[in-house]
Structure 1
Amino acid sequence: MRVWMLAAASLTAGAADLPVRQVILYKNGVGYIERAGTLAAGESARLEFKAGDMNDVLKSLVLIEKGGGKVAGVRYDSMEPLDRKLAEFPFRIEGQAPVAKILDQFKGARVEVGIGGQRTSGVLVGARHFASEKQPEKQEATLLLDSGELRVAELGAAVSVRFLDPGVERKFKDYLALVAESRAGDRRSLYIDSTDRAAREITASYTLPMPAWKASYRLLFGDAADALLEGWAIVDNTTSDDWINVRLALVSGRPVSFISRLYEPKYISRPSAELPEDQAAAPVLFESLVDDVRKAGVETAPAAGAPPSPLRMLAQRRAAEAPARESVPSTAAVSTETREVGEWFEYRFSQPVTVRRHESAMLPFLQQKIAARKLLIYSGDARPNPTTAAELSNSSGKTLDGGPITIFDSGAYAGEALMETLKSGDKRLIGYGVEPGVRVSSKTDSKSQIVREVRLNRGILTTKTARADSKTYTVRNSTDKARLLIIEHPIRSGFTLISPKPVETTNNFYRFELKLPPAATTSLSVEEEYVFDTSTSIANLTMDALLVYVRNKSLSETARRQLEKMAELKRYIAAEDAEIRRLQAEIDQMVQDQQRIRENITSLNRVTGQQDQVQRYAKQLADQESRLAALRDQQSAARGKKQALESELNRLIETAAF
């Protein structure tokens, strides 16, 4: 039954494909595709995409018709599951189902059955498929003819079966079309309809998820001072379309791009609202019957206490919100702006490019001589041998996108490197090997600290001290060629470079150039200074510590006199303190002597004939008491003098400032 098998194909007739004309690839994971073509009158354009690409297509699709035509709309395959789509049909076609089983679902439909040269039409009463041991498989359809006659048609002998009802035929074709589309799997079709009845040109452009294009370079050194730089772009056509003679451009930029789920149907939860139910009429109550009615359990609620219906509540809420909505102005403003995208740059190929679907290509976008010099780079103590490197000056007039670069020297492979994006006129160092014929060693030396500045404020003495550090690089060139070495000296936080002056400064390094004669040793000394502040309370400093600050040459004469006065007062205080300690020691010794004398007197009083000795001890004890009183007076005077000196020192400390 060929009529049935061709039903699905008729649905897509009149849809034309638009070939790809232009492709622009970016670094942010998307690509811009432009298609264009001529469509005949009444013809729709058909585009095919992966299901995962539909979100980007629906978000970015732009359609232009030349010649005055207008786009009527865009149709595309829904993402509903096939079973859910087929469930809407009143019939079901299962796999390997016989014709009789399919027809039996269309009882009441008008059909035409062709057997041999005869065609019979009528209303389908039913169809059956049966088989037995005595009789082979058989399929029959029973038709009610216009004459009222029931006729049985042998479906096994039929050459065609056709639905005479256009509505039934359309549903049957739609069913088969959905089944045919499901075989495409991940593919989705999009149709562009137009109101124009004449031939017209149409352009469709959109973005798709695409691999970022990549750049790689070859740097060829020869005998000349410059070098030849070749740039190759690697592009991947992951689409299902061939790019035949397309205009290709590569943009090294990252426009903002995101995924918005437009392809997936979005269902919004809605509130439920119902009309109020009609209530049964309550009996009319008269005053004389109120008590009896209450006893019977019949009560009526006052109208004011009845809750409003859900529909009325919704209407009231909308009425309350309406003024607020009307007072909010529109935030949508149409604005266009022409601007220069300074950070992006584009490589556009002048000749058409062909890349087949699911293939990749490597296309040359640069071949030009640029200024380059070979040198060595030493970047630290991790390895004694410097890196073989080249300094590239981008004189191509183009921005070079970052990527790997392979270096060839005198026709031989020399190494590989990575190059960051290089704008026109900029320079970049690339390292691609190790030079074993040159060794670098370094030695660090810290010199004595020098007090650069002394400040005093409210008793706090702050000193600014400088510490000089020196690092000497010693380079041994064992080769027979003169070389140029760049030493990258790390920039340390808090340190200031004194000498020598660097040729370049990066975020992390000072760069110094050092010419290396053949078979010779050369050195470079880098001087740095670290300045730091130290604060201390001047009251805690000794006289000797103050005198050290007094001798500092950075002090002003006023500051020097103030510190000298403080040192002098501290010396007087120290002298009085020493006197107090000396007197205390003498007092302590005298107290011990008095204790010993008292013990002797007590012992002698027990012995007869020792009165003279007791008298002598008593006189000695009396003399010591007089001396002890004098010592205590002297100690008290010393304490008073010390206290006066300390008060004077404290006043000086509080008021002194420089």
Structure 2
Amino acid sequence: MLRRKLVWSVPLAGAIGAGVAADRWLAATALADGKQDLRPAVTLPVTRVVMFNSGVGYFSRSGEVDGDARVDLAFQELDINDLIKSMVLEDFGGGRVAAVSYDSREPIERTLASFSINLNGDPSLAGVLQQARGERIEVTTNPTAQNQPGKLTGSIVGIELQAVPVGQTQMPVQVLNMWCAEGLRSVRLQEVQQLRFLNPVLESEFRRALEVLARNHDAQKKAVSVHFAGDGKRRVQVGYVIESPIWKTSYRLVLDAQGKGGKPYLQGWAVVENTTDEDWANVRMALISGRPISFKMDLYDPLFVPRPTVEPELFASLRPPTYDGGFAQRGVRPDPVAMNPATQNSAIFNPMFANPNFNGQGLVGNNFAFQNGFVNGGGGFGGGGFGGNLGGGLANNYAAPQMAVANTPQLQQQLAQNRMQLARLADAKAEKQNAANLGAQLAERLSTGAVTDAATAGKLGDYFQYAIDHPVSLARQKSALLPIVGKDIEATRVSIYNPAVQAKHPLLGLRFKNTSGVHLSQGPITVFEGSTYAGDTRVLDVQPGEERLVSYAIDLGTEVDPQNGPGSGRITSVKANKGHVTTVRKVREEKKYRIANRSQTDRTLVIEHPNRTNQQFKLVETDRPIEDTAGVYRFQVAVKAGEEKTFVVNEERDVATTVQLSNNPDQQIRFVLSLTEAPPALKQKLTEALKMKAAWDGQQRDLTQVKADLARVATDQDRIRKNLAATPREAEVYQTYLTRLATQEREIDALTAREKALMASEFTARKAFEDFLANLTD
């Protein structure tokens, strides 16, 4: 139902008038809605399913409606958020989407209590009528009712119990009291045959309450109603994205066991699961081998924004002023939304899978047509054939009807067979065309017949699509295998050795090139040698034309023994920069792979050696790898039957060591001088630095000696002073002690002066040496 926008902000003086006008308009709209709700709901079956590898699926429902119609759907409560986020609604006959409504999370009791007649608690007829007191009704009584006309029209006054004689006793009977044209009338409820509310709004409310009860038998599901408004019969479509299991792939790879040079045959199957609660009957299906970003967002629960509480300001009443209109326009400003018919008729849109002629152009593989053309069906697995080729066998038969021949029973039978074959071929071509149309329309612009301002749908980009040729029927909670690939591919037998996988033996495998023309999604591969099981492997996503290695068994006929070589290291350069000396040492590591082929056939061995480029290792004096990945180098070695070989991988890297020359002992300087790789200019500067270091060391030695002499004199003075304290002044030795103290004082003055001079000289020599080292650059 269409709800026009109301003006939410009106002047206080006109609020009452606006409220009255809105109330009348809403009442009229409610009457119209009541009439619309009386129409039966339309069922739209699932007609198209698009599965992705990101945990979601796109489901499309389409069908025909007549005039104003309502479509009722039911979804699991967990899917409602995805439904609100992604629902696509289209009306292809010039109609429009009026509204979409869905149940809230509130319990059913609260929902039922919101209707005019509350159906909670299983009310009786008397209870229902008691809630509708004052409403007008039409009552049809039983033909056997006494003193009652066949049909009554009036308003409900109430329900009362009256005692009615039954034999010798009185029985209470429920009686409906009505106000009719002729006055009050009483009708026993047991005599009522039919009762109808004359108020369409109340009748609609009662009907909707019953529908809520009917839709809520499954407590885990929520009802969604879509209202379409328009004239005449037309096609409508509802699409949405909800959580679904990813579709998976499984492959069969058949090798030529006889060694006749036949190409391997790759057969691919898609695993599709219908986990919904609805059967899929003849739905068009497409499989997208991409991983679009998908997320969940809580749009189902009501969200409220906290608002501040503001106290109103009180002012004295003023005389209301009047205002003139502007020069440009006088009167009411028009509502741009109401004046735009395109906006009023707009419907929800989504730029995905919505073209009304969506019939599957551009599909894949065997039983599929790829995006830009068709691919002939190859032979099936085991010689059967998914598509087969009828051309050669039917060429002559197709020409037979054009020949002038006699009318014999044999020719009539032949002509009948030709017609049947032509009809089958025409059906197959039509199905191919439908599949081709489906794929192309997945990338076409979204239909905008019922929507204005619709966005243009983009191409699928890097995604790859598989669209099934034939309609798919799949019961609920069932799974199916659908063929998507059936092609010969290019492949070469190899043995793949990686010590981290198997330390002793390589693995039998293939280097195959995806020449199928289609994208191969990740999945397991079961390998057969002829018709014999050979092993299992797994492949990640492979683009058309891309090469990939796969392994499926252990090669017991080949043995590999990896050995670490001695390794070596040498200094390649010595440089100095502002007192920092950097020494670069080239370190070489060697890895030997001893290979023994004890089988009766030649082997092509692929050795996976760790790729240590991030550790600055480089290959030297080693054959170029045929391939390198982020984790390994791949080297290819041909080994004949019974042959032994050794394959060597040499790697080097530079290891730099930096030391800072300082005023510490000069062993660092002498070590650098001893290096033959040090340049002569650096050695000359380092020799000069050693001379400066020697001068500084001499100053340090002299200063140390002076400090030792001062300490010696101080100790001797302390001894003399103690002796003086213990010796009488009249003693002859007392004067000797005084003379010696005076001599030592003069010596201390001389040593102190020398110490001061040496300290200044030592500081100058040390600073000159440190400055020289700090600016040392070759």
Work out whether the TM-score is over 0.5.
Answer: yes
| 1:614-638 CA-partner distances (Å, limit 9, x unpaired) | xxxxxxxxxxxxxxxxxxxxxxxxx
In the alignment, does 2:298 pair up with 1:247? no
Q: Which amino acid aligns with 1:235?
A: V
Query: 1:534-590 CA distances to partner (integer Å, 9 max, x unpaired)?
Result: 2335673378745531x34xx5454455567778x599999x99xx99xx9xxxxxx
* Pairing partner for 1:162 from 188, 195, 200: 195
In structure 1, the partner of 2:759 is none
Is the counterpart of residue 353 in structure 1 residue 390 in structure 2?
A: no
Question: Do 1:101 and 1:127's aligned partners in 2 also have CA atoms closer than 8 Å?
Answer: no
Counterpart CA distance in 2 for 1:510 and 1:488 is: 6
Q: Cα deviations across residues 590-611 of structure 1 (Å, max 9, x unaligned)?
A: xxxxxxxxxxxxxxxxxxxxxx
| Secondary structure in 1 matching 2:83 | helix
Q: Map residues 67-466 of structure 1 onto 2, 5 A cutoff.
A: 67-89=93-115, 92-93=118-119, 98-107=124-133, 110=137, 112=139, 114-118=141-145, 119-120=148-149, 121=152, 123-128=156-161, 139-143=173-177, 146=180, 151=186, 153=188, 155-156=189-190, 158=191, 160-163=193-196, 165-166=198-199, 169-222=203-256, 223=259, 224=261, 226-267=263-304, 308=314, 341-380=460-499, 383-466=503-586
1: CA distance, partners of 2:298 / 2:185: 56
Distance 1:350 1:566, change over 3 A: same
Letter in 1 for 2:524: P
Q: Matches of 1:419 and 1:351 in 2, distance apart?
A: 27
- Alignment check: 8 A CA contact 2:568 2:589 kept: no
In structure 1, how many angstroms separate the alpha carbons of the residues matched to 2:282 and 2:562?
60
SS at match of 1:240: coil
Paired letter, 2:296:
I
Task: Name the structure 2 match of 1:52.
Answer: 78
Distance 1:338 1:85 in 2: 39
Local SS of the residue matching 1:16? coil
Distance 2:569 2:526 in 1: 50
User: Structure 2: how far apart are the matches of 1:358 and 1:311?
Assistant: 71
SS of the equivalent of 1:17 reads: coil
Partners of 1:36 and 1:450 in 2: CA distance: 77
Q: Which amino acid is the alignment partner of residue 237 of structure 1?
A: N
Aligned to 1:490: 610
Q: Give distance in 2, aligned partners of 1:373 and 1:179.
A: 66
Task: Specify the code of the residue in structure 2 equivalent to 1:460.
Answer: H
Give, in angstroms, the shift of residue 79 of structure 1: 4.2
Per the TM alignment, residue 435 of structure 1 is displaced from its structure 2 partner at its CA by 2.0
SS in 1 for 2:483: strand
* Residues 1:38 and 2:38 are matched in the alignment: no
Q: What's the counterpart of residue 434 of structure 2?
A: none
- Pairwise CA RMSD: 4.3
Which letter maps to 1:160? Q
In the alignment, structure 2 segments of 5+ residues that lack a partner are 1-33, 319-452, 706-761
For the structure 1 residues 533 and 178, does the alpha-carbon distance in structure 2 shift closer, same or farther, using more than 3 Å as the test? Answer: closer
Give the aligned residue type for 2:595: V
Distance 1:401 1:130, change over 3 A: farther
**1:179 match: secondary structure:** helix
Preserved contact between residue 385 and residue 439 of structure 1 (Cα < 8 Å): yes
**Aligned-pair CA distance for 1:654:** 6.3
**Alpha-carbon separation, structure 2, partners of 1:82 and 1:310:** 50
CA contact (8 A) 1:71 1:194 kept: yes
CA distance in 2 between counterparts of 1:111 and 1:647 reads 118
Q: Determine what percentage of the aligned residue pairs are the same residue.
A: 28
2:141 maps to a residue whose letter is G
Distance 2:317 2:49 in 1: 55
Give the equivalent residue in structure 2 for 1:506. Answer: 629
Q: Is the 8 A contact 1:23 1:249 kept in 2?
A: yes
Report deviation, 1:657. 3.4
Deviation at 1:369, TM superposition (A): 1.1
> SS state of the match for residue 489, structure 2?
strand
Cα distance in 2 for partners of 1:495, 1:527 equals 10
Change (3 A) 1:443 1:336: same
Residues 24-72 of structure 1, C-alpha deviations (whole Å, 9 max, x = no match): 1112222222222222234434433333323323332333323333333
1:464-497 deviation per Cα after TM superposition (whole angstroms, max 9, x unaligned):
1112211111122222222111111112313222
8 Å CA contact 1:100–1:127 kept in 2: the answer is: no
Please tell me the residue identity of whatever aligns with 1:182: N
**Shift in Å at residue 453 of structure 1?**
0.7
- Would you say 1:15 and 2:41 are equivalent positions? yes
Report the alpha carbon displacement of residue 373 of structure 1 after superposing the two structures with TM.
Answer: 1.8
In 1, Cα distance between equivalents of 2:141 and 2:194: 6
Following the alignment from structure 1 to structure 2, what is the Cα–Cα distance between the partners of residues 72 and 170? 18
Q: Which residue identity does 1:21 align to in structure 2?
A: T
Aligned partners of 1:468, 1:87: CA distance in 2, in Å?
84
1:548 aligned onto 2:574: no
> Quick check: 2:130–2:159 contact (8 Å CA) kept in 1?
yes
Q: Is the 8 A contact 2:581 2:659 kept in 1?
A: yes
2:116, 2:206 within 8 Å by CA — same for their partners in 1?
A: no
DSSP-derived class of the 1:226 partner:
coil
* Structure 1 residues 124 and 388: alpha-carbon distance in aligned structure 2, compared to 1, 3 A threshold: same
Separation in structure 1 between the aligned mates of residue 667 and residue 173 of structure 2, nearest angstrom: 120
Partner SS state of residue 109, structure 2: helix
- What amino acid maps onto 1:112 in structure 2? V
AA of the residue aligned to 2:70 = S
The letter of the residue matching 2:193 is S
Q: Which residue of 1 aligns with 2:23?
A: none
Which shifted more, 377-386 or 24-33?
Answer: 377-386
SS at match of 1:207: strand
Correspondence for 2:87: 61
Provide the secondary structure at the position in 2 that maps to 1:350. coil
Deviations 1:126-151 (A, max 9, x none): 2449999x969864315357555764
CA contact (8 A) 2:116 2:205 kept: no
Partner of 1:617: none
What letter corresponds to residue 655 of structure 2 in structure 1?
F
Q: Higher strand share goes to which structure? A: 1
Question: Quick check: which has more Rg, 1 or 2?
Answer: 1
From 503, 521, 530, give the equivalent of 2:653: 530
Structure 1 unaligned runs (5+)? Answer: 1-7, 276-306, 313-333, 585-641
State which drifts further: 195-204 or 644-653: 644-653
Q: How many residues align?
A: 536
Q: Residue 126 of structure 1 aligns to which amino acid in structure 2?
A: I
Of stretches 17-26 and 93-102 in structure 1, the one that deviates more from structure 2 is 93-102
**Match of residue 290 from structure 1:** none
How many Å separate the matches in 1 of 2:509 and 2:219?
Answer: 53
What is the TM-score normalised by the length of structure 2?
A: 0.60
Distance (Å, rounded) in 1 between the aligned partners of 2:93 and 2:213: 37
